Amino acid sequence: MGIAVGKSIKEAEKFCKENDLKFTPVRRKVLEILLQKNKALGAYEILDLLREAGFKNQPPVAYRALDFLVKNGFAHKIEQLNSFVGCMHPGKDHSPAFMICRNCDFVSEEEAINPNFSVSKIASKAGFKVEKAVIEARGLCHSCASMA
């Protein structure tokens, strides 16, 4: 396990303790899987990895853990891929924007907050009150672009 993964897990543990959330074994394991793989994984891929690790592997096992992680900011869903990534900036209040490489599937999480723009700004013109914004770009990551 990378050291960064261990650190993130510890932070999640601490956050849960402070907020009366139960960081159960299956939730911890799913977060470890997401952080270790460091790419977008579908629920059923996660399920396979859970089985390998000795957990039960019916779909609700993965979806429940993922719901928990997403709801509490430890992971994000990538809507375009119907898959999930571990959060790179847990704990902090943030507006993520995801960059999804079409060649290598790597997903990087950037901060979308920008004083010049915001989805809210577009929205307010339309009289719309934003509660959650999804920003996902598809394209080529630096390393794949330079190979092409």
Partner DNA sequence: GCGCAAATGTTATGTTATATCATGGAGGAC
Partner DNA sequence: GTCCTCCATGATATAACATAACATTTGCGC
Binder of residue 121, out of DNA, a second copy, none (CB less than 5 to 8 A by kind): a second copy
Instruction: Output 24 or 103, the one with its CB closest to a second copy.
Output: 103
Shortest separation between residue 36's beta carbon and a second copy, angstroms: 22
Four-point Cα dihedral 59, 53, 14, 9, nearest 10? -100
Number of Cβ within 10 Å of residue 81's Cβ equals 18
Rounded CA separation 89/102 (Å)? 23
Binder of residue 60, out of a second copy, DNA, none (CB less than 5 to 8 A by kind): DNA
Distances (CA, A) of 123 to 20, 59, 80, 97, 98: 34, 36, 22, 17, 20
**Which range touches DNA (CB under 7 A), out of 63-71, 93-101, 111-119, 136-144?**
63-71
Shortest separation between residue 83's beta carbon and DNA, angstroms: 7
94 binds DNA (CB under 7 A): no
Task: Return residues touching DNA (CB under 7 A).
Answer: 21-22, 24-27, 42-44, 55-56, 58-61, 63-65, 67-68, 82-83
